[in-house]
Amino acid sequence: MLRPDRAHPGLPWGHADAQQHLVLDDVHRGSAHVPALSREEKRRRRRATAKYRSAHATRERVRVVAFNVAFAELRTLLPTFPPNKRLSKIETLRLALCYISYLNHVLGV
């Protein structure tokens, strides 16, 4: 988490431009020293790039498709009435729990 700079008490905690403001002050004072970015700041900048967002969106789409395929497979294994009724995800999970419990009872486990 960012800490407020005592030299700039008007900047709020966690203010996104706080570090940039401090760097600009150093530049205006003629200082050639630019503070190194922390690991957190590097991560934020990397996440802000279009390439990173695009890759993340692609990974998320693949994850959602796999998730939906798994639910579709589970739905085919569960008995429903009427037989062609499509269950929601929560209904599928609840019916799966009941069906597993029923099968355990039938097997005497």
Kindly report the backbone phi and psi dihedral angles of residue 6, in degrees, each rounded to the nearest multiple of 5, phi listed first. -65, -25
- Between 2 and 45, name the one with better pLDDT: 45
Taking the whole predicted model, whether its pTM rises above 0.85 is answered as no
Q: Decide if 7 is inside a domain.
A: yes
Band of residue 48 on the pLDDT scale cut at 50, 70, 90 = confident
Query: What is the spatial distance between Cα 64 and Cα 77, in angstroms, rounded to a whole number?
Result: 20
CB atoms within 10 A of CB 26: 13
Query: What is the spatial distance between Cα 77 and Cα 33, in angstroms, rounded to a whole number?
Result: 65
pLDDT higher than 60, residue 78: yes
- The percent of residues in the chain predicted with pLDDT above 90, rounded, is 44
Q: Decide if 55 is inside a domain.
A: no
Res 1: pLDDT: 45
Q: Decide if 81 is inside a domain.
A: no
Res 83: pLDDT: 83
Total domains in the chain come to 1
| Closest CA relative to residue 79, chosen from 62, 61, 91, 67 | 91
Supply the range of the domain harboring residue 15. Answer: 1-37
